[in-house]
Amino acid sequence: MNSQNIKLAKFAGFCYGVKRAVETAKKLKSENPDKEICVLGDLIHNMDVIQELDQIGIKTIYEIPQKGEGICVIRSHGEAPEVFEKLKKAGFEVVDMTCLDVKKVQQKAIELAQNEFFVVIVGKPNHPEVIAIKANAEQFTNKVLVATTVEEIKPFEKQIKEHKKVGVVVQTTQMLSTLNDIVTYLNSIAKEVLIHNTICQSTAMRQAEAKELAKESDLMIVVGSKKSANTTHLAEIIKDITKTIHIENDSELDNYSELLNTAQEIGITAGASTPQKIIDKVINELTKRKEK
């Protein structure tokens, strides 16, 4: 087993937007020790980080109370405009940590809606980022559709044909192949299709690098929450290239002992909401196994 190589992708772990949100929340608490600091929804899709924030007194709330106090942080996924209003009305000071790339998608969706396009959002309908993008567009039009497959758009084909102009934006962590499939279909039914490829640079680079690493590995390990869209997409993209396992942390490695023992070239990548210390623990555990 000593000939085993372990290689970590360069673009693994926290992206800029997540890092900024986590660091700002911690900074707000240290600068305002006597103030209540809370986050609306999980700050990032990683339970270790949520627990760490909780331990230093940053609470996660899932509903807006009638009366609130202190500072409420908007996570990197963003929120609907009415959520900002509700929080302010409840008495919170709002700190907006919406990722700047997500803000761009919201802005593009608003522009399309204002210019009377039928808006198609390529993304998962129940994902918080997509919910916020949709709510932003719906301030100006009721012609908004969320989909990740052509099948989900087909029931609206007649409406789209009648509308003629279609505008497309994409959830920042989506796969390019998903966008391409939908655009190809829309081009065949609409007179005019305006596409804003809003997959963020960090996601694009992470996916491209993971593919390259997968080509030279006989086992890929994707580290990160099963709830995280960008992490599950990473696993989906590379599973057709080489054997791939998706784990949340090092404790799951035992489930794959046989695969780990036989692999010679192991590649590791991680989602944008995976902390460095979780990645390090996985590498340490693999190195220990290798030395046995």
For the question of residue 129 being annotated catalytic, the response is yes
Show the CA angle centred on residue 27, arms to residues 26 and 29, nearest 5°.
65
* Residue 29 DSSP class: H
Using alpha carbons, select from 99, 48, 10 the residue that is nearest to residue 275: 48
Using alpha carbons, select from 25, 11, 146 the residue that is nearest to residue 76: 25
* Residue 122 DSSP class: E
φ/ψ region of 94 (left if φ > 0, alpha if ψ in -120 to 50, else beta) reads beta
269 DSSP β-pair partners: 222
Structure-token match 């800029």, residue found: 16
CA distance readout (Å), 202 to 33, 101, 104? 33, 10, 14
Q: Which residues are within 8 A (CB) of 161 and not within 5 positions of it... i.e. 6 or more apart? A: 189, 190
CA dist 175 and 148 (Å) reads 10
Using alpha carbons, select from 260, 203, 212 the residue that is nearest to residue 232: 203
Using alpha carbons, select from 134, 193, 129 the residue that is nearest to residue 160: 193
Task: Please state whether beta strands 71-74 and 93-96 pair in parallel, antiparallel, or not at all (unpaired).
Answer: parallel
H-run or E-run covering 154: none
Candidate list 129, 152, 212, 285, residue with the active-site label:
129
Residues identified as active-site: 129
